[in-house]
Amino acid sequence: MTVLAHEIMTPSVKAVPQNWTMERLARFLTDNEITGSPVTDDQGEIVGIATLKDITEFRWNASRSRPDDHLTSEEAAEARRLRMAIFEEMGKVPVEVRDIMTPIVLSVDEQTPVRDIADIMMREHLHRIFVTKDARITGIITTYDMLKLISNRELTQRCAEND
């Protein structure tokens, strides 16, 4: 018997509004011991996903210097000075979740076989995928849920029987 999405999904999905600040998102993720969360618009519809990786990439991109081989040393110094001035000013305006989230939301139906979900997650390099029923999100499957599948002897056996 095939193992389906609804059997391994985490049914509680903690979503955040797109107008939260990046700092508030970071606290939320840390407080809930999760690495990502769906993002909702003003009507409560999911419009993307925001993760710790998004926060890290935003901060890293804002702070790193970009060497340009085509500039003289004076031009490169001036470019660095201007970049730092821009980032300093940007720091005064709170960055919102909508600014760093990934707007693409992939999902699978509750009746999707786990093997198909694993294929999608591997192909798309995903750590989480939403589970839906009648176009409404009912849960989430993370890499942790997939590991739980492997650690459950009965579910692992059911997966192996379908080869």
Q: For residue range 7-52, list pLDDT tens digits in order.
A: 999 998 888 999 999 989 999 999 998 888 899 888 888 889 999 9
User: Is the confidence at residue 4, as pLDDT, over 60?
Assistant: yes
Structure tokens at 44: 């409560």
CATH of domain 5-57+95-161: 3.10.580.10
- Domain spans of the chain? 5-57+95-161
| Strand partners for 50 | 37
- Give this prediction's pTM: 0.69
Q: For residue range 66-102, list pLDDT tens digits in order.
A: 555 577 788 878 877 777 776 666 566 688 999 999 9
